[in-house]
């Protein structure tokens, strides 16, 4: 992922989770932040798919439980 793509990903996570950029860590995890619930997860996935024009596999959507995992997953799609 290039810097622009990481920035886009950070923006999506911060906006959907309602947090500041400084609060978003690699370790930020589903169920650790109350705002990151399954409904928000779905919104994040939809926005990622729109922003990067990709369609994510079910197993990847399930596996994206931390921000670090999200970056890893996206690297797979974006190269």
Partner 1 sequence: MNFVRFLLDHHRGNGDIFLAGVNERTTYRELFERVETLSRWMAREYGNGKELLLLADNGLFFITVYLAAMRSGNVPLLVETRIAKDELAKLMAGCRPVAAFMQRKLAEKAVPGLPLVTEEGLSTSAPGEDRRPETEDGDLAAVVFTSGSTGTKKGVMITHGNLIANTSSIIEYLGLTERDRIMAVLPFHYCYGASLLHTHLRVGGSMVVSHSIFLGGVLKEMDRFECTGLAGVPSTFQILINRTDFLQHRFTALRYMTQAGGKLEPRYIETIADAFPGVRFYVMYGATEATARMSYLPPEVLRTKMASIGKGIPGVQLEVLDDCGRPVAPGQTGEITARGSNIMKGYYRDEEGTRLVLRDGRYYTGDLATVDNDGYIYVVGRSKDIIKCAGYRVSPYEIENFVLSVEGVDSVAVVGVPDELLGEAIVAVVRRKAGADEGEVRESVLAAARKALPSFKSPKHLVFIDEMPLNSSDKVDKVRIREMLARGEVHG
Q: Are 30 and 41 in contact (CB under 8 A)?
A: yes
Listed ranges 2-10, 11-19, 71-79: which one lies at the site for partner 1 (CB under 8 A): 11-19
Residue 13: closest CA among 38, 39, 47:
47
Contacting partner 1 within 39-78 (CB under 8 A): 39-43, 45, 58, 61-62, 64-65
**What is the length of the chain?**
79
Residue 15 as a binder of partner 1 (CB under 8 A): the answer is yes
Region at 18 (left for phi over 0; alpha for psi -120 to 50; beta for the rest): left
Residue 58 is encoded by which pair of tokens?
């079910």
Q: Which of 16, 28, 67, 73 binds partner 1 (CB under 8 A)?
A: 16
Exactly one of 6, 23, 26, 35 binds partner 1 (CB under 8 A); which one?
35
Site residues (vs partner 1, CB under 8 A): 15-18, 30-31, 34-35, 37-43, 45, 58, 61-62, 64-65
């Amino acid at each position: 992922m290039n810097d622009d793509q990481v920035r886009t990903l950070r923006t999506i996570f911060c906006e959907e989770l309602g947090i500041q950029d400084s609060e978003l860590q690699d370790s930020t995890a589903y169920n650790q932040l109350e705002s990151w619930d399954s409904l928000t997860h779905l919104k994040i996935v939809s926005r990622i798919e729109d922003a990067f024009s990709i369609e994510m596999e079910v197993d990847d959507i399930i596996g994206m439980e931390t921000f670090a995992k999200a970056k890893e997953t996206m690297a797979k799609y974006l190269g």
